[in-house]
């Protein structure tokens, strides 16, 4: 793991020791090769249908190794988009806002057919509405390289360090629970809830921006994904409290995810990384400020003593979790695609469906700019 400088901590080893001493809220929602029944997924049985998209079934190649990610210059396409959304919200498109502050369902448009101008509008609209639901899409039926190239338009594609991927396509992160996977019930033996709020891989130096998740197989009911508007979460705080958050930084860790992967007999494509990000970040296209902490990957606030850091982070985590009036619960349907902006929304899978039903999704995850804070602005 490459060393990082975190004042007032003296060394990388001390950072890792501090992380391990803190009681982590990390929840392992991922399944892995130990619970994967390859024959059942590929062939099915008299009682169990085979996977609908065999080309998207997960593989774990222990020989697949990648060097540490290097910084790159990200271009945010939403910043130059048509704010009237002439293509994305044309007269033929039906729009349904799921809540006033977060979530919009769009029908009558195919994501795969968008022009570059339409993709720019998609990036901006996702940043404004935080999460978008597109029904009846052909995305899952595209050749995998075409889906990957679509995502690449929005930024350098993240290769997940631990997850399964379609064979030969590590740019695709798979969310897969097979018909005989009971790991959700196993989690509830030691937890009261399977909800695990997070923004994806915030331990990276450049966490994701516009992100794509599409359904391949779904349970008959349940398995929704819930999202939280982190701009609204920030705005709901008092001006004095918001001002106090500015200037604070927090450590985000991939150590627990890597350790969990090893426990599940899975892989680590890259060594785990620790990064420091501001508690409040500003979106480059909208200028909106958003909270940027999550219990899956945020570990402690730099410069605070443990009790102080735990107290403040618990308040923020509770604020996120209890904010039902700035949440949107997105229900999956066949061939649907969800697009969201990881910079301004957190989310969690909801593992509430009956054991024995397959849930299979694919994520394409373009990275964005390093999180940046802009000065606090007091309302006039």
Q: Using CA atoms, how far apart are residues 198 and 233, in angstroms rounded to an integer?
A: 14
Which residue is catalytic, options 200, 217, 252, 277?
Answer: 200
Q: Establish whether 120 is a catalytic residue.
A: no
Q: Using CA atoms, how far apart are residues 336 and 358, in angstroms rounded to an integer?
A: 16
Which residue is catalytic, options 347, 358, 359, 360?
Answer: 347
DSSP states of 36-99: --HHHHHH--SSSPPPS-GGG--B--TT---PPPPP-----GGGGS-TT-TTTT-TT-EEEESS
Q: Establish whether 281 is a catalytic residue.
A: no
Contacts of 171 (CB under 8 A, 6+ apart): 148, 151, 157, 158, 159, 165, 364
CA–CA distances in Å: residue 213 to residues 121, 137, 175: 18, 12, 9
| For residue 246, cis peptide bond before it (omega within 30 degrees of 0) | no
Which residue is catalytic, options 128, 177, 198, 360?
Answer: 198
* Three-point CA angle 320, 251, 197, nearest 5°: 25
Rg (C-alpha) for the chain, rounded Å, is 20
Q: Establish whether 200 is a catalytic residue.
A: yes
Query: Coil, strand or helix: which one is 286?
Result: coil
- Please name the residue ranges forming H helices in the chain: 12-21, 38-43, 116-129, 144-152, 183-187, 230-235, 239-245, 255-263, 306-322
Q: Establish whether 277 is a catalytic residue.
A: no
**Active centre residues (catalytic):** 198, 200, 347, 363
């Amino acid at each position: 793991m490459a060393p990082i400088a975190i004042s007032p901590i003296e060394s990388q080893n001390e950072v890792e020791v501090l992380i391990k001493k803190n009681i982590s809220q990390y929840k392992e929602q991922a399944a892995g090769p130990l619970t994967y029944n390859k024959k059942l997924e590929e062939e099915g049985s008299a009682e169990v249908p085979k996977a609908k998209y065999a080309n998207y079934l997960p593989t774990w190649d222990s020989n697949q190794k990648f060097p540490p990610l290097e910084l790159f210059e990200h271009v945010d396409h939403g910043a130059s988009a048509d704010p009237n959304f002439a293509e994305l919200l044309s007269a033929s498109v039906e729009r349904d806002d799921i809540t006033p502050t977060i979530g919009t369902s769009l029908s009558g448009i195919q994501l795969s057919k968008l022009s570059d101008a339409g993709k720019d509008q998609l990036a901006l609209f996702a940043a404004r509405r935080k999460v978008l639901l597109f029904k009846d899409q052909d995305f899952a039926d595209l050749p995998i390289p075409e889906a990957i190239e679509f995502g690449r338009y929005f930024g350098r594609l993240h290769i997940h360090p631990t997850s399964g991927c379609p064979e030969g396509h590590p740019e695709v992160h798979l969310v897969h629970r097979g018909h005989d996977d009971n790991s959700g019930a196993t989690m509830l033996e030691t937890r009261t809830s399977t909800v695990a709020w997070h923004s994806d891989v915030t331990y990276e130096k450049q966490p994701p921006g516009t992100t794509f998740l599409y359904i391949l197989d779904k349970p008959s009911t349940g398995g929704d994904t819930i999202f939280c508007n982190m701009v609204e979460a920030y705005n709901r705080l008092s001006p004095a409290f918001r001002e106090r958050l500015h200037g604070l930084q927090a450590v985000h860790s991939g150590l627990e995810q890597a350790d969990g992967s090893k426990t599940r007999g899975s892989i680590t494509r890259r060594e785990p990384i620790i990064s420091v990000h501001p508690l409040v970040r500003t979106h480059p296209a909208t200028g909106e400020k958003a909270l940027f902490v999550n219990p899956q990957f945020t570990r402690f606030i730099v410069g605070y003593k443990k009790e102080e850091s735990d107290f403040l982070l618990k308040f923020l985590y509770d604020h996120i979790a209890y904010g039902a009036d700035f949440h949107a619960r997105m229900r999956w349907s066949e061939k649907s695609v969800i697009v969201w902006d990881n910079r301004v929304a957190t989310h969690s899978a909801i593992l509430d469906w009956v054991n024995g039903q397959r849930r299979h999704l694919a994520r394409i995850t373009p990275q964005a700019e390093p999180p940046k804070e802009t000065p606090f602005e007091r309302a006039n």
